[in-house]
Chain A
Amino acid sequence: MYETTYHRPGSIAEAAAMLSKAADGKLLAGGQTLIPTMKQRLASPSDLVDIGGLAELQGITVGGGTVTIGAGTKHGEVAGSADVAAAIPALGALAEGIGDPHVRQMGTLGGSIANNDPAADYPAAVVGLGATVTTSKRTIAGDDFFTGMFETALDEGEIVTKVAFPVPAKAGYAKFPNPASRYAMVGVMVSKGTDGAVRVAVTGAGPCVFRVPAMEAALAANWSPAALDGIAVSAADLNADIHGSAEYRANLVTVMAKRAVAAAG
């Protein structure tokens, strides 16, 4: 790791101020991606602004048909939350499958979506459940938040503060983990809103989380795994590596989507 300067602000406002003053500052939340990246000397921020402990970023609240999760809430807290399990069990199950138990006790929701790793799980939840992201400056619809590989709609210095997940009528998440890293080779979140709107969001398969309109239409007409028979995404734009070709990932998208529907019930 290159040398860096660590800061621990007392508030979001102070964090934003520290960030703006830094030559090349970065927010540190759980650090479960940033610190390994810095250890490999692939990132060299001049300053680290640690928002992991900020009280105003913590907590899970359920009410008004929405599960709202503070950006600093750890994956393990989401996975272990009885409130989440009651309202959106698929969200708790997704959190339970991120990384490993130790990573889950440090890694945060805000850190995950702000980083937007193409193989991260949470982007599938944000898009697949039609969530809304609140930042230090504004609110951003989940559909507009993820803009490309490791790219988001966040401006310089903008800090994610919370994510509001509408409680769906049904939702399910199915993940095929990479055998080495345990990231998603393919992860699919499906949901049917209380208004009947269907969402199918895929992570891991492409450069960025994406929706599958053909599957959404089929499921809107017939909410069952069988409805997805014969519906596949094109392999043309999918990721390929030593663990899986684009063609194989395309197959997994359909298989995982069907399993997610089955899990949703």
Chain B
Amino acid sequence: MGMEGIGAPVKRKEDRRFITGRGRYTDDIALKDMTYAWFVRSPHAHARIRSIDTSAARAAPGVVGVLTGADLAGDKIGGLICGWMIHSKDGSPMKAGAHPAIAAEVVKHVGDQVAVVIAETRNQARDAAELVVVDYEPLPAIVDPAKSRAAAAPQVHPEAPGNLIYNWGLGDEAATDAALAGAARIVTLDMRNNRLVPNAIEPRAAIGAYDPAEEHYTLYNTSQNPHVARLVLSAFVGVAPEHKLRVVAPDVGGGFGSKIFIYPEETVCLWASRRIGGRPVKWTADRSESFLVDAHGRDHVTHAEMAFDADNRILGLKVHTIANIGAYMSTFSSSVPTYLYATLLSGQYDIPAIYAEVDAVYTHTAPVDAYRGAGRPEATYVVERLMETAARELGVDPAELRRRNFVRSFPHQTPVIMAYDAGDYEAHLDAALKIADYAGFAARKAEAKARGKLRGIGFSCYIEACGIAPSQAVGSLGAGVGLWESAEVRVNPVGTVEVLTGCHSHGQGHETTYAQLVNERLGIPIDQISIVHGDTDKVQFGMGTYGSRSGAVGMSAVLKAIEKVEAKAKKIAAHLMEASEADIVIEGGELKVAGTDKSLPFFQVALAAYTAHNLPAGMEPGLKEGAFYDPTNFTFPAGTYICEVEIDPDTGKTEICSFVAVDDFGKIINPMIVEGQVHGGVTQGLGQALLENCVYDEESGQLITGSMMDYAMPRASDVPSYNVTTTETVCPGNPLGMKGCGEAGAIGSPPALINAITDAIGNNDLSMPATPEKVWRAIRAVA
């Protein structure tokens, strides 16, 4: 490992602009003659629009235009799409209702757009928006997914009778039933995976700019995947032709999934810019709007049964989940409670039979889609709460019950599609037990008791699937896109390098880690390497960043391109040094003839490629290569998390005393950045388990947790410092041996915390978030 190569904790290149206030986020961009959009949003969860009167708003000071759903339909702008087709058990395709960018006839959740006002200033747009008169006929609403299928429940879309989008199954139901029938013991749990609001600290924003002379559109957008946005906006929504649409996602202030999706607002900004004659239209969400209309996460209601034999080996697992999709199917919403969820229900365990059934339902709530972990936290929560519950019911140590059931040989084919390629689950369990001083827990519990506190310990041995995945495989499962990644490595004549990637960095540190990879291979200092991303005019195509894919998939593409550069550079060097190409090695920024003292610095080879004065016969000038990398399998990060808590029995308040995370991410490029990803993920997971809860009023469908005044975001004083380390089994599925680290913390931590709290209070009947009152009541229920 060099000072700047793979494995080095290199300080981030991108930090300098962020710590000095010189980042460039979408809302920082001011274009000439820019106007500002404010959306008129539905105050009702469900209502028919009888009429919209925009006349007073049009006459208001500074107003440039007021547009409605009728205008949108008149211009033949299509609805937003869900890009993953799921088929029900009976073979029928999922039943998706229409998703207009501006509602014209019926509003389906509080915050649904009904009109947009464009004005000279944001205040003027907002002032005028209040003058848009919408005559609504309020209709009854349904917000609880568990009740949405009742015969009397209000219907969200006529296309989906009974609010059922699909009834999907995975696994062998008969084999699983047989396993349950033959079990010595069945452990049963009903669980709610609470609904979350992503709350990246940068609110979403978009600037649409239409150039009438060129008939060209530019969209600046807070996006995790600008190319997918361009594809969907052009090919499906039809707002602009693909070759006439540039999408730029500049610095983006966190995404966590919520900025993957193609939303109504950016669609409208692009279209509106054309409608008002080409002046740019900027929209920046207020946080209150983010709460109403950003895609939310989770919201599962699950019943699960796990069967054990007399030796405490798992025989089978049967799961039924109702997944709330919200009022519209967001871009990848259908995949989250299906192929990103049920495929992980085997956990780290050798389970002979698994069957999962998922009912995806519409409700009159904001759309629900991928949020950090996306399906895998829900699966981990089911499996790891069951394991802890089983250990208690079977009277065995929770660590040992897990150990007994671990998968030990690889590759391992689970009953739910996944073929685990590599892992050593005992290695991280043992490491975590040691770091957490599990042996000393009883003494700590006794000491806490003497202080009047209830101390508990909880485990979570999670597995996840990242780096998805072979395009052919995901295509066969219903994905509308391939999930490969592209890269281009451009060596400049002076030997500096630009790497263009279709991934997008919004906190992950790609400008550093991608440069580390180049440094590792070419020996060029990282300050002579630039990483270019987030602009469809610069990068030809790419799938963006989500699902912990930018290392395993994105960097594999970069590596493939580097290998092509290396091959050409070696040919040139061999020619220049009159050596055999097979003898050329690249080391420390030089191309050397092995076994001799002959060498050429990399920049001289680069220069030779561009002067082209003396190249091998027939060789094209230049030193620039591109590559597309399609993964061969999912990757399978896994780890053990141990959480220790103390509960104040008088108030029910939980203090997280320690949190140990031992993860196997395969090969690691930058341990500093990897640890940072775990810290952040763990905090989001602990936030879900302890604090965060998105609540709609059952009767009115109003969002009760509409701001950070009611939605409890984790703060520094809510969490401790963490003890984070890694073990390593190399991923055989990609050339760098990487598995991915972006989501693990959020996936593994919620059950660890809930298992710790339920251990402390001696009552397993507890749901997330474990608010002080819930814990207080749970203590009293068993007192």
Partner-B contacts on A (CB < 8 A): 1-3, 40, 176, 179-181, 241-245, 248, 251-252, 255
**CB–CB A179/B773 < 8 A:** no
**Given known contacts A40-B288, A255-B651, A244 and B709 CB-to-CB distance under 8 angstroms:** no
CB distance from B781 to the nearest CB of A (A): 14
Q: Which of B709, B773, B776 contacts A180 (CB 8 A)?
A: B709
Q: Given A244-B773, A248-B773, A251-B776, verify A180-B651 contact (CB < 8 Å).
A: no
Contact call B650/A179, Cβ cutoff below 8 A: no
Chain B residues with CB under 8 A of A176: 651, 653, 772
B674: A residues at CB distance < 8 A: none
| In contact, A255 and B650 (Cβ under 8 angstroms) | yes
Q: Could you tell me if A252 and B691 are in contact, using CB atoms closer than 8 angstroms?
A: no
Stretch from B105-113, B435-443, B710-718 contacting the other chain: B710-718
Q: List 10 A-B contacts (CB under 8 A).
A: A3-B127, A176-B651, A180-B712, A181-B708, A181-B710, A242-B710, A243-B773, A244-B772, A255-B650, A255-B651
A213 to B650, CA, bound (A): 22
* A180 CB contacts on chain B under 8 angstroms: 691, 705, 708-713
Q: Give the distance in Å from the alpha carbon of A2 to the alpha carbon of B651 in the complex.
A: 42
Residues in B neighbouring A243, C-beta threshold 8 A? 710, 771, 773
Q: Which 8 A-B pairs have the closest CB atoms?
A: A180-B712, A179-B712, A248-B773, A255-B650, A181-B709, A244-B773, A180-B710, A242-B695
Q: Is the CB of B776 within 8 A of A242?
A: no
Residue of A nearest to B711 (CB): A180
A-chain residues with CB within 8 Å of residue B773 when the two chains form the complex: 243-245, 248
Q: Which residues of B contact A252 (CB under 8 A)?
A: 651
Residues in A neighbouring B704, C-beta threshold 8 A: 242
Does B123 touch A at the CB level, under 8 Å? Answer: yes
Q: Which residue of chain B lies nearest to A180 when distances are taken between CB atoms in the complex? A: B712
B225 interface residue per 8 A CB criterion: no
CB distance from A185 to the nearest CB of B (A): 9
What residue of chain B has the Cβ atom nearest to residue A181's Cβ? B709
Which A residues lie within 8 Å of B127 (CB)? 2-3
Whether the pair A248, B776 counts as a contact (CB closer than 8 A) is yes
Chain A residue at minimum C-beta to C-beta distance from B649: A255
Q: Answer yes or no: B683 CB below 8 A from chain A CBs.
A: no
CA gap between A108 and B773 in the complex, in Å: 31
CB-CB under 8 A from A3, the residues of chain B are 127
Considering the chains assembled together, what is the distance between the CA atoms of A206 and B693 in angstroms? 24
Interface centre among B705, B710, B773 (most CB of A within 10 A): B773
List the A side residues contacting B777 at CB < 8 Å.
248
Complex CA gap A259/B361 in Å reads: 47
CB-based contact B709/A242 at 8 Å:
no
* B 684-704 binary contact with A (CB < 8 Å = 1; else 0): 000000010101000000001
Return chain A residues, CB-CB under 8 Å to B123: 1
Given contacts A176-B772, A248-B772, A255-B650, 9 further A-B contacts (CB under 8 A): A2-B127, A3-B127, A179-B691, A180-B708, A180-B713, A181-B709, A241-B710, A243-B773, A251-B651
Distance (whole angstroms) from the CB of A110 to the closest CB of chain B: 23
Q: What CA separation (Å) do A149 and B718 show in the bound complex?
A: 30
Q: What residues on B are CB-neighbors of A255 within 8 Å?
A: 650-651
Q: How near does chain A come to B62, taking the closest CB pair, in angstroms?
A: 12
Cα of A244 to Cα of B712 in the assembled complex, Å: 13
Report Cα–Cα, A244/B704, bound state, in Å. Answer: 14
Provide the bound-state CA to CA distance between A248 and B778, in Å: 12
What is the distance, in angstroms, from B89's C-beta to the closest C-beta of chain A? 36
CB distance from A227 to the nearest CB of B (A): 16
A137 to B693, CA, bound (A): 47
Query: B653: which A residues are within 8 A, CB to CB?
Result: 176
Kindly state the separation between the CA atoms of A1 and B708 in the bound complex, as whole angstroms.
19
B127, closest chain A residue (CB): A2
The smallest beta-carbon distance between A156 and chain B, in angstroms, is: 28
User: Given the complex of chains A and B, what is the CA–CA distance between A227 and B81 in angstroms?
Assistant: 64
- Within residues 675 to 689 of chain B, which ones have a CB less than 8 A from any CB in chain A? none
Residues of B within 8 A of A179 (CB): 691, 712, 718, 771-772
Residues of chain A contacted by B718 (CB below 8 angstroms): 179
